[in-house]
Chains A and B, each alone.
Chain A
Amino acid sequence: MAQLILYGLIYGGIISLGAIGLTLLVRILKFSHFAHGDMMALGAYLTLLFRVTMGLPMWLSVALAVILTAVAAVLIDRIFYKPLRRTSPAILLIASVGVALVLRHLIQFFWGAAPQVYQRGVERPYIVWGLRIRPTQVWILVMAVVLVIAVWLFLQKTKTGKALRAMADNMDLAAVSGIDTERMVVWTWVLGAALAAAAGIMLGMDTQLRPAMGWLMLLPIFAAAILGGLGNPYGAIAGGMIIALSQELSTMFINTAYKPAVAFVLMVLLLLVRPQGLFGGKA
């Protein structure tokens, strides 16, 4: 069981990073960004390009992939979402489904449908207090913690971060107090996409890369964001941990194949009981 909790924490870190960006996007841009999972996949595959195809060192590949994913997100926003922003959130939602479709299949076009990995071969796990953990997983945990702290510092200490939180909290009030909302929209995309890319890379390191990986992550990250109360980045982290732990622990009772459904069932139950999410937020 302790082993499952450990895996849950690793997976939870990945979900949380995806959910933080998603929750801010939903709150600030006022539409559910259904292409978020596929941005994770984009980050993961760009890393594959730099690391395996071009042979760059891993840290550089990760950095380049994160930056490029953020640039791609801003470009997609300028080309597709911005002209539609004046219509309705529903149209934007459909548009994001279209973007998701295009991204996923462009990935499949360039890299093929077969699963790929950053590094071949089997890793020897460390054994600490009877728990097995692979070196890669240690890296993932470290990266997740560092990124979460960095995001926390960014949101708490910097002017941009504070402005972002203000916008997520109350858009009109933020605009009235002189925050440049259009610039903040760009920042939201940069932050959201960068975190998504990082999460995708970590997922790729932990398991393998598949074009559908982003689509499969969409449900858990949405469940985490909703659980945490949409718009609340700290809630999203807690939500991510809850979803991941319950998915891992569920394997003690039910068929492992149903793991993805656990997030969904939890989300529906929560919506029934407490639609505003576990941690406040406005429904």
Chain B
Amino acid sequence: MEWGGIIGYGLFLLIYGGIYAISALGLNVQWGYTGLFNIGVGGFFLVGAYTSAIMTKGPDFSHLGGFGQPFLVGVLAGGLLAAVLALLIGIPTLRLRGDYLAIATIGIAETLRLIVTNEQQLTAGVWGIGAIPKPLWSTFGDSYNAFYAVVVLLAMVLVYFAIERGTRSPWGRVLKAVREDEAVAQAVGKDVFRFKLQALVLGAFFMGVAGALFAHFVGYISPEAFEPMNATFLVWVMLIVGGSGNSKGAMLGAFIVWVIWSGTEFVAAALPPTFGPRAHALRIVLIGLLLMAMLLWRPQGVLGEERQVSKLVRNEPAGRSAQGG
């Protein structure tokens, strides 16, 4: 490969890795910190993508549109609508046991895919929405991907600091308490349901933003882009690989897994074309086995969860459990 190819791949890695990292950061708020089971990441991602695409496009007869809003408004609207959706799904399910939320989020993701496939006047159905505006496209021209990589990474860093701030506050400690033992959190007077709802909504907002960033980069979206594999499971594997409960881990995992995922695509592309669809299936098997291997041998992920102790407590590495208790 020449230098141009390597730089081109590097930019793709930064852009896609960054978009997935934002999704994984959102999932980390939900699962890593609060223990909420969201297997419908793709649904929130989809809502963000479609909302932003529709909000920013000019009039188009094949689907709802003509709002012509700027890029930033579209991205924020995508995040907000995903958050509203999380609110609606969270209210009936968050008071119940955790696996009900899991199955409900699968349901919502699948239902959303049915809606965007069938409501043609809204989303152009299987044809998809094309010509999604790319912000400042004419300004950057040839070096557009470099510009967009900066945009995505900026967004990622912003999301990272927002989450770090939140989780290192008393609010974040309550989330962890809810994750570790709901009954105890309840017993010390925390409204467990409200904290869970906040975590779900916040995480969904970030997933929506990630979806919007994705839509504006690829410029064309259709229901196929949001199949559970790409939009949901990959994000889960990223979080588990990187280390759930650790925002740096979520980002690291996103880039590692994306490199593996896109690397296997190169290998698959090098195989004879008749082998193509099968190679694709094998790539996913590989990702699935990676997930299982991590769970079995390194459940804490590459980085593992950071221990957070009060600034007032001095670090005493040994001897805490020595005195019985």
Interface residues of A (CB under 8 A from B): 26, 31-32, 34, 80, 83-84, 87, 89-91, 93-95, 97-99, 101-102, 105-106, 108-109, 112-113, 211, 215, 218-219, 222-223, 226, 255, 257-258, 260-261, 263-265, 267-268, 271-272, 275, 283
Contact = CB atoms under 8 A, between A and B. Distances in A.
Given A32-B99, A109-B281, A264-B111, A98 B291 contact: yes
B264 to A, nearest CB: 12
Contact of A257 (B100, B103, B114, B288): B114
Interface of B: 35, 37, 39, 92-93, 95-100, 102-104, 106-108, 110-111, 114, 117-118, 228-229, 233, 236, 240, 277-278, 281-282, 284-285, 287-289, 291-292, 295-296, 299
Contacts of A223: 103
Contacts of A87: 299
Contacts of A83: 296
Contacts of A271: 92-93, 96, 100, 104
B114 A90 contact: no
Given A97-B39, A98-B295, A257 B107 contact: no
Given A94-B291, A94-B295, A226 B100 contact: yes
A94 B292 CA distance: 9
- Pairs of residues from A and B, 8 with the lowest C-beta to C-beta distance, nearest first: A264-B107, A101-B288, A102-B288, A32-B99, A108-B281, A98-B291, A109-B281, A105-B284
Nearest to B36: A90
A255 B233 CA distance: 29
Given A93-B99, A108-B278, 9 more contacts: A32-B102, A90-B98, A95-B295, A99-B288, A99-B292, A226-B100, A260-B110, A267-B107, A268-B104
A6 to B, nearest CB: 25
Contact of B96 (A89, A109, A275): A275
A98 B237 CA distance: 9
A31 B99 contact: yes
Contacts of A219: 103, 106-107, 110
A105 B285 contact: yes
A172 B111 CA distance: 39
A255 B282 contact: no
Contact of A94 (B106, B107, B240): B240
Contact of A218 (B106, B229, B240, B288): B106
Nearest to B293: A98
Contacts of B98: 89-90
Contact of A101 (B97, B233, B282): B233
B288 A105 contact: yes
Given A258-B118, A267-B107, A91 B295 contact: yes
A177 B99 CA distance: 29
A93 B103 contact: no
Contacts of B296: 80, 83-84
A93 B37 contact: yes
A99 B293 CA distance: 11
7 contacts: A91-B299, A95-B292, A97-B39, A112-B277, A223-B103, A264-B104, A267-B103
A173 to B, nearest CB: 21
B265 to A, nearest CB: 15
B106 to A, nearest CB: 6
A240 to B, nearest CB: 16
Contacts of A218: 106
Contacts of B282: 105, 109
